[in-house]
Structure 1
Amino acid sequence: MKGGILPAKRRWKGLVIAVLGLVLLSLLVPLVFLLGLHNGFHSSGYTTPQHSSASDDESTHVDDLMQRLEPTFPKDFGENIVVGKAENKTAGFPLLDGLPKERLGVNSTGVGDLAKAKQSTGVGDLAKKKQSTGVGDLGKKKQSTDVGSTPGATENIRDIDEGEKLCELKFGSYCLWRRNHKEKVNDFTVRKMKDLLYVARAYYPSIAKLPALDKLSHEMKQNIQDFERVLSVTTVDKDLPPLIDQKLPKMEAVIAQAKACRVDCSNVDKKFRQLVDLTEDEATFHMRQSAFLYQLAVQTMPKSHHCLSMRLTVEYFRDPPPDIDQSLAERHLNPDLHHFVIFSSNVLASSAVINSTVTHAKESENQVFHVVTDRQNYFAMKLWFSRNKYMEATVEVLNIEDHKLENNKASTSIHLSLPEEYRVSFHKVDGPPTTEYLSVFSHSHYLLPEIFPSLKKVVVLDDDIIVQRDLSVLWGINMDGKVNGAVQCCSVRLIQLQKLFADKRLDETSCAWMSGLNVIDLVRWKEQDISGRYLKLVTEMNSEEAVALRASLLAFQGELYALDDKWVLSGLGHNYGVDIETVKNARVLHYNGNMKPWLELGIRDYTVSWRKFLNQENQFLSDCNIN
């Protein structure tokens, strides 16, 4: 019996061991892949890198953040054009499909790959720049930039200008802001230390390989570590430690000894090239990081403005304003008055627009302003405009989300969308690209006939404008049966954007038009069914790239009445080159671009014209530190 039991037990134990082994293998195999131990295997045509540095992780993190704020680049928009989505005209995040969108430009072939864009624009390509311009050869550089050398100086200025244009193409208006906010810093010694450290690092590997130079190798290593330690916490000369003047001669002496030694020049050259590539990548990373922070700043509502909105909302429920007078309600529907429509979620911006308009009006009692906002800002707007008077004008605040539209189902919610801005860049064969900033109607604007069924004509104002002349003459303009009276931007013609519209037929003489100040004939709008035309175009466009731009330009093709260019001065939110006297004499100022006048990043020379229409004595502004 015992002899028969033992073999059975052995077989049973063998089966248990085999089962346990299979269980362990089934657990280990997924763990191997989860822990990244499969790096040696190929997957989808590429191999996972086995080593990554801290700088790579940081760069990847920033790239990921920028991709969240900036969706993938539009592709194949044209061989000669670049279209980028600029911020919405609100201080908060512009939301489109759930994500804030700021599309930076792409190169002329529509390539969305950053690496290819980097090659095409040359931004941060230090190695190529070194070869082409001889960076590092101080003697030649001095000769080429010498005051007496006119051709060299002219070429240098041209290179700088083209570099800025290419930078703007890739990073948008951040490059303009950076150029105009550069501060002169005293960092001569710091830069000298970095140059010495750069050379020492290049020679050290070759010196360390020679046993006869152990003492020099040790001294060089010690100096490199000292410089690295100091430069890790220092950016300007005033932050340098007191004994730095003693360290510089030591490093210079060590480098001189290294240069006197017989070393393999190819190794030194190889190390130099590695350092150049590393510096190039670091410069590109910092440029992208700075551009990301800039975009975050221009898209985020300032703390003081958020405070104002919250305080007004709380005050509304604490002490709600009285119900509107019946006579005022009748004025809202009277088609014989001058009606202005503003789509906005910014209390101060819409207030400045209205205040500037009534200030320069000859008869403000004929003016009615309709501020269309969302539920989040409705109560703040309601309280603000009930407690602030604008001469004899009437102000109505509407919540677009509570508005019942005939052609919309009850379950379909309506969301406020503000005027959208696009940056359009054109490549030139014989020069740097040119850039224009276009602002166009959003989806909400095409609800105008349904929101205001009793009105015949309205003037639509963006919330980033300031009025400096009387606008009553706009109601006397004969628009020749056209729907939209707008200022045109003929530096951008529709035929130049042909590839944006696929097989659509375009009028070669048609120019792009701008929102900001628009005279709208609502009767003619209904007759031509502009809203239906726009919705049909949006439905036909499978791609979501620049939908508002493409659909708006096509919807109003043949229905535009060109206003005199003198009506609106545009570009005050991105162009530093506008003359101050021109700003003072303009009829309407349009702060289109990223640098809105209510932001810290606004162009200070132009924000003066905006700030003077704020009531600085208002208690809410004081409490929220808006100055």
Structure 2
Amino acid sequence: MDRSNRRPSTSCFRGVLSSYWPCIITLCLFGLAVFVVSNFHKGPDTGKPDWSFTRNFKEQVGLLKSNENAELRMIYVDASGNLRVYKTKVKDLSPSWIPRDRSDVQNKPSAYHKSGEEVSLENAESKLDGSDQNTIFVEGYGNISLTNQTNPVKLERRYNRTLRKEKRTAFLTSLDDYTVHKMQISAIELAKKFNVTSQPRYGIWRPDYSNSSTTTLKLLRDQLIMAKVYLSIAQSKKHDPLRKALLTRIRDIRPLVREATSDAELKPSALDQAKQMGRVLAWAKKDLEDYSLVARKLRAMLQIAEESVTAFKKESMFLTQVAAKLIPKPIHCLSLRLTTEYFLMFPTDQDSKAKDPRIDDPSLYHYALFSDNVLATSVVVNSTLTSAKQPEKHVFHIVTDKLNFAAMKMWFLTNPPGDASVYVENVDDFKWLNSSYCPVLRQLESEALKAYYFKAEHPTTIAAADTNLKYRNPKYLSMLNHLRFYLPQVYPKLEKVLFLDDDIVVQKDLTPLWDVDMKGMVNGAVETCKESFHRFDKYLNFSNPIISQNFDPNACGWAFGMNMFDLKEWRKRDMTSIYHRWQNLNENRTLWKLGSLPPGLITFYNLTYPMDKSWHVLGLGYDATVNETDIHDAGVIHYNGNLKPWLELAISKFIPFWTKYVPVDHPYLQQCNVV
């Protein structure tokens, strides 16, 4: 039985003149081995031992096959030149083992027989003699990879394996459906008896850690998790030696991984620590073989980790909301300085531009901007006029609250926008805007809504709060957020107004928007729906029959931020009354959550004209993947979201689009460290 063509190591013949006895011993051992296997047959007229079955080959093969318990011993020389003994039994050999006369192998026969058909291997043999090609095609064998180990015996074994597979396939395909069904049932029943629980193995050289800059770091963290599991079990089972060993290893490894983010930051001793921990874990696995208990411990740790991650996410969301609500100290400083300067002026100077005749001229380009942020408002005005072809025809209507009115007024008095006109108003001066006329104002003053925002347990239950923390934003309590629904009342003499948010930057001349034919629609806006995103079902409660009976859940949403409003069509359709009706229906917040977009979608349903998407690109306040080509080609870019460009939370690569319109050389901005 010859498994491989092994020759005695040539190292035995080195230094023959100096020592003969090692070679003599080696030859004797080889002779003994062959005697055991083949009864020490001799080849004809050679006087040398026959290393395989040569003279009575067929008889010996038949004898071996009839005695399955016959023991075979093979002696070979390994790569180091050492003699090795391999023992096996005939019945343990796989069918792919082929009894082969060694003389056939050495003589390299030119043909093999496959089912009575001669298959030429001349090409295969020539390839083995040194051709540059790596594979050949041999009929009956397919593509054969030619390496130094390829020989006819291996080709024959490969063919036998293929033949067995073909026979098995032919047998299975010949069975009828009933027999196949019985075989399936039998296999299922047999599978139920198998113990498929695999015993977990722990090795410090796990394959999933290879080829990574964090290989050792991940390994150490994984070891810490397993060590904590085994430590808990060792304590419960009072295995003190193991418990102490685990504690020692945990104390050694924990400082190594606490601050590290890659292998380069680990100490040189980290790998040795991992090996030591691996030995302790192997000890623990051997002594604590309660795998079900280990699984329960891991599940418990996973559940605790998931709860911690959820709590951290909610806390992060809450803190982000807090940061987005607050006015940064430099901007607050700017507002205070401007307010001080305003009240030091004479009253006549304070109202020097209060009666500009262009304010009510419907033939000009009018912008509505409602904000309490002086710096953000100035960026909107500066960017719009920088891109405008006829700045003198542009009129900005700015409305702010009582707290910021003086600062806003002072900024544009001391920094006039060239030939354009800016008119600043105080929302508290609109006497018609009261709770008896405005439902949302009445709701904002209700105790129920105040409790929703300021309930006592809210600050202390961040982790237990609902996921809609974004709706608990004080901007929803400001009437400036809802004033957009009263444009005809605020500007009774105007026909068209372009509404702008204060977190946008204008990059193109916007005057072509006044020439867009909106086909009788009231609102012109850019739609934001993409596949299933930003459709009506995202903003409205379609489980309420009032919503489901009046609106399509797949209707495309749109965005506030840059909207062209036809005030003539607005007055004709009495859109403000429609808005009031739906606000009254939503007094208990059962139709939608707070905010201005959901009532806007409802109020202007089927009355919104879709503008080209290049006019308004959104997402710069939350999505770092916004395409920069789209940004450069956009008429308006919008920092909607919590990451406003004037906050430290802002996405850094989008900040320059905003800061280039900030007057960095202004003395107040420098004194307040705004830039």
Give the CA deviation at 1:301: 2.5
Aligned counterpart, 2:378: 351
Q: Which runs of 5+ in 2 are unaligned?
A: 1-199, 445-474
Q: Secondary structure at the match of 1:614?
A: coil
Q: 2-side partners of 1:527 and 1:290: how far apart?
A: 47
Map residues 393-542 of structure 1 onto 2, 5 A cutoff: 393-405=420-432, 442-491=481-530, 492-494=534-536, 498-499=542-543, 501-506=546-551, 511-542=556-587
Give the CA deviation at 1:493: 4.9
Q: Quick one: which of 619, 623, 628 aligns to 1:571?
A: 619
Whether contact under 8 Å (1:400, 1:414) holds in the other structure is no
C-alpha spacing 1:415/1:347, structure 2 compared with 1 (3 Å): farther
Give the CA deviation at 1:370: 0.9
Aligned counterpart, 1:255: 281
Whether contact under 8 Å (2:439, 2:580) holds in the other structure is no
* AA partner of residue 642 (structure 2): N
Greater mean deviation of Cα atoms: 480-489 or 450-459: 480-489
Measured against aligned partners, the alpha-carbon deviations of 1:12-33 in whole angstroms (never above 9, x if no partner) come to: xxxxxxxxxxxxxxxxxxxxxx
Aligned counterpart, 1:325: 352
1:600 is aligned to 2:648 = yes
Q: Secondary structure at the match of 1:489?
A: coil
Q: Quick one: which of 630, 646, 662 aligns to 1:582?
A: 630
C-alpha spacing 1:590/1:229, structure 2 compared with 1 (3 Å): closer
C-alpha spacing 1:285/1:499, structure 2 compared with 1 (3 Å): closer
* AA partner of residue 287 (structure 1): K
Whether contact under 8 Å (2:436, 2:442) holds in the other structure is no
Whether contact under 8 Å (1:566, 1:587) holds in the other structure is yes
Whether contact under 8 Å (2:439, 2:583) holds in the other structure is no
Please, what TM-score do these two structures have when normalized by structure 1? 0.60
Q: 1-side partners of 2:635 and 2:203: how far apart?
A: 51
Please, what TM-score do these two structures have when normalized by structure 2? 0.56
1:342 is aligned to 2:390 = no
Q: 2-side partners of 1:293 and 1:406: how far apart?
A: 33
Structure ranking higher on relative contact order (CA contacts 8 Å, 6+ apart): 1
Give the CA deviation at 1:608: 1.7
Map residues 178-257 of structure 1 onto 2, 5 A cutoff: 191-208=218-235, 214-227=240-253, 248-257=274-283
Q: 2-side partners of 1:539 and 1:139: how far apart?
A: 66
Aligned residues: 433
Q: 1-side partners of 2:437 and 2:549: how far apart?
A: 34
C-alpha spacing 1:401/1:136, structure 2 compared with 1 (3 Å): farther
Measured against aligned partners, the alpha-carbon deviations of 1:498-549 in whole angstroms (never above 9, x if no partner) come to: 5565354236995323222222222322222111110111101244233544
Question: Could you tell me the percent identity over the aligned residues?
Answer: 34
Whether contact under 8 Å (1:461, 1:516) holds in the other structure is yes
Whether contact under 8 Å (2:614, 2:630) holds in the other structure is no
Give the CA deviation at 1:413: 11
Q: 2-side partners of 1:535 and 1:281: how far apart?
A: 42
C-alpha spacing 1:523/1:224, structure 2 compared with 1 (3 Å): same
Q: 1-side partners of 2:579 and 2:205: how far apart?
A: 59
Aligned counterpart, 2:593: 546
Q: 2-side partners of 1:561 and 1:596: how far apart?
A: 28
Q: 2-side partners of 1:411 and 1:338: how far apart?
A: 28
Q: Secondary structure at the match of 1:502?
A: helix
Q: Quick one: which of 296, 302, 305 aligns to 2:322?
A: 296
Aligned counterpart, 1:111: none
C-alpha spacing 1:343/1:249, structure 2 compared with 1 (3 Å): same
* AA partner of residue 593 (structure 2): A
Whether contact under 8 Å (1:400, 1:415) holds in the other structure is no
Q: 1-side partners of 2:423 and 2:277: how far apart?
A: 72
C-alpha spacing 1:253/1:373, structure 2 compared with 1 (3 Å): same
C-alpha spacing 1:227/1:412, structure 2 compared with 1 (3 Å): same
- The runs of at least 4 consecutive aligned structure 1 residues that moved more than 6 Å come to 135-141, 229-246, 410-417
C-alpha spacing 1:334/1:216, structure 2 compared with 1 (3 Å): closer
Aligned counterpart, 1:610: 658
C-alpha spacing 1:141/1:311, structure 2 compared with 1 (3 Å): farther
Whether contact under 8 Å (1:449, 1:525) holds in the other structure is yes
